[in-house]
Amino acid sequence: MRLAVIQQANSADITANQAHSEQLIRAAAAEGAVLIMLQELHNSLYFCQSEDVANFDLAETIPGPSTLWLSQLAKELGVVLVGSLFEKRTTGLYHNTAVVLEKDGTLAGCYRKMHIPDDPGFYEKFYFTPGDAQWNQGGSGFQPINTSVGRLGLLVCWDQWYPEAARLMALAGAEILLYPTAIGWDTTDTNAEQQRQLDAWIIAQRAHAVSNGLPVVVANRVGFETSPLADAPGGGVDFWGHSFICGPQGEMLAHAAHQEETALVADIDLQRSEEVRRIWPYLRDRRVDAYAELTKRFID
């Protein structure tokens, strides 16, 4: 199966951002991609660099304008599209939500980001409520979405650091792990520190592929986005790109550069997960009888 991730820089012009995304989506479809994923919060600038109630005007319902746009595009191109939205669930309740549009334009499902960060330049707790721990008829919030191209284990950005999230998706039958992302550097950090952060980010996600025997697909944004805060370290965030697609042993299949805007395309073979799990049967050897304390915040 051929899939693609869209890596792009954003501006304050939502219409222009969507037009650029559409151009890259069409390029990926022209190369034969049947599953295409956009980066986190792809419609706008990454507004979470500050806490500003005016930014709630960016939120929209599902279904709404963005899902309509993605639906029409998915149907026209005959592809499965994964988008990322600032969702207004109701007045005063908002989520960071990924959506999946089927080849026929229908909404296959959505995932509300479970782990919400709150760090300088990434003030997401001000905007987003975590996804529901139980939903979809009592299922886990870490529930794969069924599509014509496979069961998608869709997670979002900060979720990518948590092995529990990847494992729960795998246990629920996900065939691919997908991470729309918006992550970058504080430009006041040293080059060595920036490299360590980038390496850790790649290693952590490749490890999810290895420990679960599943392909991992990551879409990050690029470009420097200025902070509206006068005292922001470095004046903003330098989004580091490096979107990638890897196989079930963590092998790199495609890897974008730091500032490259691209439709990154690669072929994956879902059957390889069966082959890999036969020689590395991690799920067989899990000691489920000994893991109860994982549900604790800390073991005193």
Categorize the per-residue pLDDT at 233 as very low, low, confident or very high, splitting at 50, 70 and 90: confident
Q: Where are the domains of the chain?
A: 2-295
Active site residue 40: yes
How far CA 234 is from CA of 9, 126, 187, 226, 276, in Å, comes to: 18, 22, 5, 9, 44
Beta strands in the chain (DSSP E): 2-7, 35-37, 80-90, 93-101, 107-112, 118-119, 122-123, 134-135, 139-140, 145-147, 150-154, 176-180, 184-186, 216-219, 222-226, 236-240, 244-246, 252-255, 262-267
Q: Does residue 124 carry a pLDDT above 70?
A: yes
At 38 the pLDDT is: 98
- Mode of pairing for the β-strands spanning 118-119 and 107-112: unpaired
Q: Residue 166 in contact with residue 188, Cβ under 8 Å? A: no
Q: What is the DSSP letter of 251?
A: -
Active site residue 157: yes
At 137 the pLDDT is: 62
pLDDT digits (tens, 9 = 90+) for 44-75: 999 999 999 999 999 999 999 999 999 999 99
Q: How confident is the prediction for the chain on average, in pLDDT?
A: 96
Q: What is the DSSP letter of 173?
A: T
The residue-averaged pLDDT of 180-209 equals 96
Q: Does residue 136 carry a pLDDT above 70?
A: no
How far CA 250 is from CA of 65, 148, 168, 211, 284, in Å, comes to: 36, 24, 18, 9, 20
At 234 the pLDDT is: 82
Q: Does residue 133 carry a pLDDT above 90?
A: no
- Mode of pairing for the β-strands spanning 122-123 and 134-135: unpaired
CA 282 to chain centre: 25
Identified catalytic residue from 87, 113, 175, 246? 113
Q: Residue 163 in contact with residue 27, Cβ under 8 Å? A: no
Categorize the per-residue pLDDT at 139 as very low, low, confident or very high, splitting at 50, 70 and 90: low
Which CATH superfamily includes the segment(s) 2-295?
Carbon-nitrogen hydrolase (3.60.110.10)
CA 230 to chain centre: 29
pTM for this predicted structure? 0.96
With a CB cutoff of 8 Å and minimum separation 6, the contacts of 123 are 48, 49, 50, 51
pLDDT digits (tens, 9 = 90+) for 7-41: 999 999 999 999 999 999 999 999 999 999 999 99
Active site residue 76: no
SS3 90: strand
Categorize the per-residue pLDDT at 138 as very low, low, confident or very high, splitting at 50, 70 and 90: low
With a CB cutoff of 8 Å and minimum separation 6, the contacts of 89 are 61, 95, 129
How far CA 76 is from CA of 19, 25, 70, 81, 104, in Å, comes to: 15, 12, 10, 11, 8
d(CA 185, CA 258): 11
The residue-averaged pLDDT of 239-244 equals 98
Residue ranges in the chain assigned as alpha helix (H): 14-30, 65-77, 163-171, 191-212, 271-279
Identified catalytic residue from 48, 110, 157, 246? 157
